[in-house]
Amino acid sequence: MNTPQVRPNLYGMGLQELGAVFEALGEKSYRARQATTSMYRQDLLDPAAWTTFSARLRRDIADRYRVERPRISERQLSDDSSVKVVLTLADGQRVEAVAMPTDERMTFCISSQAGCAFGCAFCMTAKLGFLRHLSAGEIVGQVAALMEETGTAHERYNIVFMGMGEPLHNLENVLGALRLLLNKLAFGLGPKRLTVSTVGIPEGIDRLGQEEPRPRLAVSIVSADQATREELMPSAKTFKLDAIADAMRRYGARQRDLPTIEAVMLKGINDRRHHAEALAKFALRAGAKVNLIEFNPTPELPFEPSGEDAIRHTLRILVKAGVGGTVRRSRGKDIAGACGQLALKTP
């Protein structure tokens, strides 16, 4: 018995791939630009609605291809108005994404993988293990789904790749997604509205730095003390601090925005004076600013958040050393939607 073939999905294809599709249909390459606008800018997922095409071409597309993006299957609303959603993918796999409103604009926190392979001790997503990479279409489809869910218009949101997964472990698909997000015919975002957060893969940082334009870069080192870092992040034994600092400095040299160092503040683990001094020294070498992140406790993890005094003390040491520092306050933690909590669990 023959297994029916699944039609290729146009959603997630960039201009070059779409150009090849239309060339195979006997059409001119400019059709790729029209299809890009229809799918991403207008969120039209039925080719019958692509009225810039002839009726014959619309039928040909519908017969040979599909246009599908992830759909929201579950949603939870936080007391702070953040929304966490579960998106079910075509193969039944699920991922989470979060929309976080502020006074100025919306921020979408999106996933690059189902699960994660990097095993950070302070992150609930690590408990899932690695399930699979997300395609470019599954990544940008989260953005379209969150826009629809929250009624947010184009140009009114920022995006952070801080959801499930390690973006630089799925680099080619993340690059494809970034190009669509930056494409004026598609989502039309400026590079300053995109932030890619990574555990620090030097080769991946260098590859991302070759893109033009480049998104903002954030690197979660947790601690600039190597021994502490290795206890918390298995990847620290492979990706050393010196190599990460050098890659961050190269990245920052290519653009005006300083890269960001992220440090989740864990009580008694990485919030002592010597940790702060090491963090300041690393930031100066990397040419970066620092974002201190509140740890979001969960019963499954053996950590507590640092107290306000420890966070303020760390911040003072950074500032005294000439390093820009800020504190990121949690949003959506009552629905397990805050940093490090995404694990497809109901609070």
Which of the 8 DSSP states describes residue 66?
B
Instruction: Considering only residues 273 and 102, tell me which one the structure prediction assigns the higher pLDDT.
Output: 273
User: Distance between CA atoms of 70 and 9, rounded to whole angstroms?
Assistant: 12
Q: For 257-277, give the DSSP string.
A: SPPEEEEEEBTTTS-SHHHHH
For 280-301, write each residue's pLDDT tens digit: 999 999 999 999 999 988 888 8
For 51-88, write each residue's pLDDT tens digit: 999 999 999 999 999 999 999 999 999 888 899 999 99
Asked if 184 and 219 touch (Cβ cutoff 8 Å), the reply is no
Of 240, 259, 235, 238, residue with least CA distance to 248: 259
Of 218, 222, 324, residue with least CA distance to 275: 222
For 102-136, write each residue's pLDDT tens digit: 877 899 999 999 999 999 999 888 889 999 999 99
Tokens of 342: 């995404």
**Long-range contacts from 301-307, C-beta under 8 angstroms, 24+ separation:** 301/121, 301/122, 301/124, 303/121, 303/122, 303/266, 303/267, 303/269, 304/266, 304/267, 304/268, 305/265, 305/266, 305/267, 306/265, 306/266, 306/267, 306/271, 307/267
Q: What is the sign, positive or negative, of the torsion defined by CA atoms of 280, 284, 286, 290?
A: positive
Q: Active-site residues: which are they?
A: 96, 339
pLDDT above 70 for 89: yes
Asked if 341 and 300 touch (Cβ cutoff 8 Å), the reply is no
Looking at residue 334, what is its pLDDT? 55
Looking at residue 2, what is its pLDDT? 53
Ordered structural domains, the chain, with CATH? 15-64 (1.10.150.530), 71-335 (3.20.20.70)
Of 85, 201, 106, 112, residue with least CA distance to 151: 106
Q: Which range among 48-62, 144-158, 321-335 shows the weakest confidence by mean pLDDT?
A: 321-335
Q: What angle do CA 102, 103, 106 make, to 5 degrees?
A: 40
CA atoms within 13 A of residue 136's CA, in its CB half-sphere: 20
Looking at residue 210, what is its pLDDT? 95
For residue 85, the cross-strand partners are 75, 97
Q: Which range among 137-141, 153-157, 160-164 shows the weakest confidence by mean pLDDT?
A: 153-157
Tokens of 121: 């001790």
| Cα dist from 193 to 23, 143, 223, 286, whole Å | 34, 13, 26, 22
| Cα dist from 24 to 29, 32, 62, 67, 205, whole Å | 10, 12, 14, 17, 36
Looking at residue 336, what is its pLDDT? 47
Q: What is the sign, positive or negative, of the torsion defined by CA atoms of 197, 343, 73, 75?
A: negative
Looking at residue 196, what is its pLDDT? 98
